[in-house]
């Protein structure tokens, strides 16, 4: 049974929220996904160099929750 949930909330501040989540078998897998998927300065620079513009101010929150202990979050 999966134990860790990575919940990603991407929100364009002028639009309704778009929510998604991923479920992982282990904390290590979930933490690796979060560390790999975090936006890096290089990725932002590449986006800017490609002429891609955001449609509005965005916020992105990633929360890792231990399903066995849902009150405590592991990271955000």
Name beta bridge partners: 46. none
How far from chain centre, in Å, is Cα 73?
14
Helix, strand, coil percent content, the chain, rounded in steps of 5? 25, 40, 35
Question: pTM, whole model, 2 decimals?
Answer: 0.34
pLDDT in tens, 14-68: 655 555 556 666 677 766 766 655 566 666 777 777 776 655 554 545 555 565 6
Distance, in Å, from the CA atom of 44 to the CA atom of 41, rounded to the nearest integer, reads 5
Identify the pLDDT of residue 76: 42
Residue 13: its H or E element: none
Q: How many domains does the chain have?
A: 1
CB 8 within 8 A of CB 62: yes
Identify the pLDDT of residue 8: 54
User: Which domain range does residue 42 map to?
Assistant: 4-75
Identify the pLDDT of residue 1: 43
């Amino acid at each position: 049974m999966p134990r860790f949930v990575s919940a990603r909330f991407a929100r364009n501040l002028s639009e309704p929220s778009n929510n998604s989540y991923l479920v992982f078998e282990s904390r290590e897998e979930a933490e690796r996904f979060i560390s790999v998927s975090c936006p890096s300065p290089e990725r932002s620079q590449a986006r800017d160099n490609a002429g891609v513009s955001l449609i509005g101010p965005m916020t992105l929150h990633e929360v890792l929750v231990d399903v066995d202990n849902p009150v405590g979050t592991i990271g955000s």
